[in-house]
Amino acid sequence: MYPEINAMALPPTGPSAAGTSASGAPAVPAFFARRGIHYGWVMAAVTFLTMLVTAGAVGAPGVLIGPLEREFGWATADISSGFAIRLVLFGLMGPFAAAFMNRFGLRPVAAVALGLIGAGVFGSFFMTRIWHLMLLWGVVVGFGTGLTAMVLGATVATRWFVQRRGLVLGLLTASTATGQLVFLPLLAQLTETLGWRSALSIVLAMLLVAAVAVLTLLRDRPSDIGLLPYGASEPPTHLVHPTTFKSMFASPLLALRDASKSRTFWVLFATFFICGASTNGLVQTHFVSLCGDYGMAAVTAAGMLALIGVFDFIGTVGSGWLSDRFDSRWLLFWYYGLRGLSLLYLPFSDFSFYGLSIFAVFYGLDWVATVPPTVKLAADKFGDRANLVFGWIFAGHQLGAASAAYGAGFSRTFYQTYLPAFFVAGLLCLVAALAIVAIRERSPRLATAAR
């Protein structure tokens, strides 16, 4: 059970009170309230769709490297540089995305993000130079995806849920990784049969659907529609967020200044750097091309990535459930350890269907299962500033991804093989498994006000 919408707290706005029910409550939330559905679950569903679609745009470059090489004659290292810029901006925008969400609300930020991604994808239909790729897929798509990233899911989960928060984080995190992978077989098939521009048309259509859902359903906080967060018994206390542009842009930097005094922050930052290097930057970007080097068709290789996405969904949702019940440090120890062993196994799989299937199962279960326990550790440590601090931790993730995206492309261009990059990533994951135990106990939260 949850509190009913408080009509007194939600008076009609505007001369015609458009969009409100007869009682004065917003029509859409009231519709779900009458059916006994807490609006937090609607928020989770819209956020799931938004992150799924933006992640599909992030994952699209996994099938573009070969076609762009053939059409324009660009080197793998040059193409990888453009995609690496995207990953860097994707990460560095995270802390500021949290500040924008705190200042302007979730709906405007998500809508602008989807618009930027759509503009970058549409513009790429007409690119003819490598700098066009770097501008559109590096800068424009990088900024757009960075405005949502993992921070949107973390913000929705922490604002709208007290109970089931870990589960919701698992679901939203799974949408990101799953979106990056499950659309790849379709995109690869369309790329082979109709060309890469036709494949990107599907991405544009999905972005439009997500934009309609965001503009129609997304809300900022439960209190805006007269609700408590799901499972809460009393209203939460909120930070007074900066009201000027100067203080808004300063708030992530102040959060970084305070968080950087904590060993927990640096351990989470470093391990998330390794997480990004061993997932988005390496496997998502280069796996299809790697399999092509061993004679596997792009569609088949993309199908393996989709299988990874299926097991990632299972693993990440399960990780959210587990993070509500067990010590997050030991969950991360096992996740990083098993991922490292999977990456070290990959070069010995002979790239057969059977060998890659084994890799897909074990690696997929660990793809981003690291996110729910990492967010939980950040929330335990940094309290009300957790979304800002997690933005910086996620920046570490994407810096690692960008390093691996470029490094693997460099390895293939100059050494004619991807394998050194996969061995290095596997070893780094084992280092992360050992490093995470340095977080020995929950510590007092940092001061919660941005001064």
| Model pLDDT, residue 375 | 82
| Model pLDDT, residue 181 | 63
Token pair listed for 193: 């049969």
| Model pLDDT, residue 109 | 92
| Model pLDDT, residue 332 | 93
**Contact between residue 159 and residue 221 where contact means Cβ atoms under 8 Å apart:** yes
CA–CA gap between residue 36 and residue 33 (Å, rounded):
5
pLDDT-derived band at 178, boundaries 50, 70, 90: low
pLDDT-derived band at 448, boundaries 50, 70, 90: very low
Winning range, highest mean pLDDT, from 4-8, 193-197, 322-326, 426-430: 426-430
Establish if 195 belongs to a structural domain. Answer: yes
Provide the CATH number for the domain around residue 145.
Answer: 1.20.1250.20
CA 166, distance to chain mean position in Å, is 16
Residue type, 379: A
39 backbone dihedrals φ, ψ, rounded to 5°: -65, -15
Of residues 30 and 131, more confidence is placed in 131
Res 49 pLDDT > 50 = yes
CA–CA gap between residue 35 and residue 40 (Å, rounded):
14
pLDDT-derived band at 244, boundaries 50, 70, 90: low
Expressed in percent and rounded to 5, the helix, strand and coil fractions of the chain are: 75, 0, 20
CA–CA gap between residue 434 and residue 224 (Å, rounded):
43
CA–CA gap between residue 333 and residue 319 (Å, rounded):
13
Strand pairing partners for 161?
Answer: 230
Res 52 pLDDT > 50 = yes
Residue type, 165: R
Domain count of the fold of the chain: 1
Res 447 pLDDT > 70 = no
15: three-class secondary structure by DSSP: coil
pLDDT-derived band at 342, boundaries 50, 70, 90: very high
Q: Model confidence over 29-47: pLDDT tens digits?
A: 777 777 788 888 999 999 9
Domain, as residue range, for 88: 35-221+259-438
pTM for this predicted structure? 0.68
Establish if 42 belongs to a structural domain. Answer: yes
CA–CA gap between residue 281 and residue 367 (Å, rounded):
12
Establish if 362 belongs to a structural domain. Answer: yes
CA–CA gap between residue 190 and residue 323 (Å, rounded):
39
Q: Say if residue 160 is exposed, middle or buried (CB neighbours under 10 Å; 0-12, 13-18, 19+).
A: buried
C-alpha distances in angstroms, 307 versus 183, 185, 250, 358, 365? Answer: 11, 10, 42, 10, 10
Find where tokens 């206390």 sit: 237
- Give the Cβ contact number of residue 299 at 10 Å: 19
| Model pLDDT, residue 3 | 42
Establish if 6 belongs to a structural domain. Answer: no
Establish if 254 belongs to a structural domain. Answer: no
CA–CA gap between residue 133 and residue 140 (Å, rounded):
10
Nearest partner of 171 among 20, 300, 318, judged by Cα: 318
Of residues 370 and 34, more confidence is placed in 370
CA–CA gap between residue 49 and residue 206 (Å, rounded):
9
Of residues 177 and 336, more confidence is placed in 336
Res 152 pLDDT > 50 = yes
The average pLDDT across 273-286 equals 86
Res 285 pLDDT > 80 = no
Res 450 pLDDT > 70 = no
Average pLDDT, the chain: 80
| Model pLDDT, residue 195 | 84
| Model pLDDT, residue 446 | 40
| Model pLDDT, residue 443 | 43
| Model pLDDT, residue 111 | 93
Find where tokens 């326990």 sit: 373
Q: Model confidence over 382-419: pLDDT tens digits?
A: 876 777 788 788 888 878 988 888 888 888 888 888 88
Residue type, 328: S
Cβ-Cβ contacts under 8 Å for 76 (sequence gap 6 or more): 65, 69, 289, 409, 412, 413
20: three-class secondary structure by DSSP: strand
**DSSP 8-state secondary structure symbol assigned to residue 3:** P
The average pLDDT across 131-151 equals 85
CA–CA gap between residue 394 and residue 273 (Å, rounded):
8
CA dihedral sign, ordered 397, 402, 408, 410: negative
| Model pLDDT, residue 240 | 52
Backbone dihedral region for residue 19 (phi beyond 0: left; psi -120 to 50: alpha; all else: beta): left
Establish if 243 belongs to a structural domain. Answer: no
Res 115 pLDDT > 90 = yes
Of residues 169 and 357, more confidence is placed in 357
Res 145 pLDDT > 80 = yes
Establish if 136 belongs to a structural domain. Answer: yes
Establish if 121 belongs to a structural domain. Answer: yes
